[in-house]
């Protein structure tokens, strides 16, 4: 696990590792300790990476595409269902009939704009946005529930939105959602909340849960 190490550098490193392995395996004997696999394959089987602010990495992740990321995961685990927080949120909002959502994040403007563009490219409008504008994840984790609730209510009351998505797995939102929906009269979800729902549905568990 590479914690908060960024991701933009990884494609280049893996490309060069595969090239060097191919060119020099005859004298390095790398095939013996890699069991005939490419370095990139070994990396993808054994490493996870995360980031906080990596515009280049996000851009390239979008270019790769969710379907291709899922396909690479299924190379190691054939037939497995795949999700991620933003894909789950988009799926959840659409399942609830939302077409124009309010987006609340803890991120800086550059990341916010990229996230908005990503969502809009998947047929969900984002006419209202709000942000706490933090660069550091340890600051994000300290945003209290009252602040999140107040911000979600403010943007959720926008007349042009029919749902609210609170982004970032570091924000504690799940316990607030029932009250937010009652006050707004609109669906509300968050990264963790949506991904839990989506994972259950992909696992064919459809029993309703409260909250």
111-147 tens-digit pLDDT: 898 889 889 999 999 999 999 999 887 788 899 999 9
Mean pLDDT throughout 147-157? 97
| Dist CA 162 CA 187 (whole Å) | 7
| 3-class DSSP state of 59 | helix
- Asked whether 148 and 173 are in contact (CB, 8 A), the reply is yes
| Dist CA 126 CA 115 (whole Å) | 10
Mean pLDDT throughout 10-31? 82
Q: Among the ranges 28-37, 54-63, 201-210, which has the highest mean pLDDT value?
A: 201-210
3-state helix, strand, coil in the chain (%, to 5): 55, 10, 35
Examine the pLDDT at 150 and tell me if it is beyond 90.
yes
Residue 84 CB partners (closer than 8 Å, separation 6+): 66, 195
Count of all residues that appear for the chain in the document: 211
Q: What is the pLDDT of residues 180-207, one digit of tens each?
A: 999 999 999 999 999 999 999 999 998 8
pTM (predicted TM-score)? 0.71
User: Residue 63 — pLDDT band, cuts 50, 70, 90?
Assistant: very low
Mean pLDDT throughout 93-99? 96
| Dist CA 92 CA 191 (whole Å) | 10
């Amino acid at each position: 696990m590479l914690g908060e190490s960024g991701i933009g550098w990884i494609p280049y490193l893996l490309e060069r590792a595969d090239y060097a392995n191919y060119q020099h395996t005859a004298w390095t004997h790398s095939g013996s300790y890699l069991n005939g696999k490419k370095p990139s394959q070994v990396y993808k089987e054994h490493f996870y990476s995360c980031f906080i602010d990596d515009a280049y990495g996000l851009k390239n992740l979008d270019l790769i595409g969710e379907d291709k990321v899922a396909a690479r995961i299924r190379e190691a685990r054939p037939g497995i269902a795949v999700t991620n927080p933003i894909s789950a949120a988009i799926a959840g909002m659409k399942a609830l009939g939302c077409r124009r959502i309010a987006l609340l994040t803890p991120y800086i403007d550059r990341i916010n704009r990229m996230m908005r563009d990503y969502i809009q490219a998947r047929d969900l409008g984002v006419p209202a946005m709000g942000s706490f504008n933090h660069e550091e994840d340890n600051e994000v984790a300290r945003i209290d529930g009252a602040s999140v609730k107040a911000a979600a209510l403010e943007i959720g009351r926008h007349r042009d939105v029919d749902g609210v998505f609170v982004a970032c797995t570091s924000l504690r939102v799940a316990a607030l959602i029932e009250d937010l929906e009652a006050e707004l009269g609109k669906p509300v979800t968050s990264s963790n909340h949506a991904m839990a729902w989506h994972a259950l549905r992909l696992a064919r568990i459809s029993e309703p849960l409260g909250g």
